[in-house]
Amino acid sequence: MIDEFKSFETAASRRVGVVGGGIAGLAAARVLAEAGVAVKVFDKGRGPGGRASTRRVEQDSGTLAFDHGAQYFTVRADRFATVVEGWVSMGACAPWNGQIATIDSAGRLEAKPGGPTRFVGTPRMNAVVAQLVADLPRNAKVQFSARVDRVEHAGGGWLVEGPEDRIGTFDALIVTAPAPQVVELMPESPELAARAAACVMHPCWAVMAAFDARLPIEADGIFVNVPGNPLSWLARDSSKPGRSPGERWILHAGPEWSMAHVDDDRSSVVCELLESMQAALQLALPPATYSAAHRWRYALTSSRVDGRALFDRDRRVAIAGDWCNGGRVEGAFLSGCAAADMLLRGFESKSS
């Protein structure tokens, strides 16, 4: 078994597997590959996205597209700002200048001017993830439709297994799954599994709705703070730059309601949240020409870990994800970078 794993004597001999091809996993792969490490990323999805995803629906009238996961992202850290500047220059993202508002506890809709610049992928949110894939050096590969069911630490390295057979052997590993899935996947690193188990993640129900006429409100993104109303966020998705014409909205339920209704039928969720939207906006909605619900089981967290990622130096495995760093897109990116940095420092100490 030991012979399957290469030594750490040179950068070219290092092979790292990355479980998860979202923002965190691809950020980690980029840092490692730029340092000369061979990287293989495994993602169970059919294409890039993760929660920075877009649902596309084919209809006789054309294609409807909804950013039903991450709604936008902001930039604070210089390391992320440099990447976002590149995305903007390549047309993969742009500022969203939609009018942001709140509905307060008294039901008043009030504009919320100012605040940080909000960016979105163009022409869809998953464009930024696709750009991360396109920008990877040649020594980093991404395999989609690759579900990882088990990882095993053996012979000084890691075996990665899918539903039927082994899909890779690596010197080191980075796992960017949601915290509950890390617990299931990492029994051989009990310290990391325990840290992940301490993280609380909440679900989020999202409803996508299209209407044949513009709703008579000026706000494009609305934080809903109405007691008893299930909603936390409403967005006129079609107001974002690069989108096709039409009137398309995203409705996000808050964490408490989503948890209480996590196993509800999708059709009942659609009805409940559209009725809640109507109540929050205090207007009669026209019939939806399309509506559907999507459940993000592991969507929200406010947790953070020291160093933005977790690292088991002895077993050479790092854990990253937005749940390690505050739950934002930027947090996911910086967490992936931190995990890669930890591995690289581990490589250096091993070879010194």
Averaged confidence pLDDT in the chain: 92
Q: C-alpha distances in angstroms, 16 versus 24, 130, 187, 253?
A: 15, 21, 19, 38
Lowest mean pLDDT of 3-7, 26-30, 111-115, 140-144, name the range. 3-7
Residue 243 has a pLDDT of: 96
- CATH 3.50.50.60 correct for 1-50+126-199+308-352: yes
Look at phi and psi of residue 19 and say left if phi exceeds 0, alpha if psi is from -120 to 50, else beta: beta
pLDDT tens by residue, 193-205: 999 999 999 999 9
Q: Assess whether pLDDT exceeds 50 at residue 7.
A: no
Domain ranges, ordered by start, for the chain: 1-50+126-199+308-352
More confident residue, 270 or 113: 270
Strands (E), 20-104: 38-42, 55-59, 62-66, 93-95, 100-103
CA dihedral 338, 149, 327, 16 (to 10 degrees): 10
Q: 234 pLDDT exceeds 90? A: yes
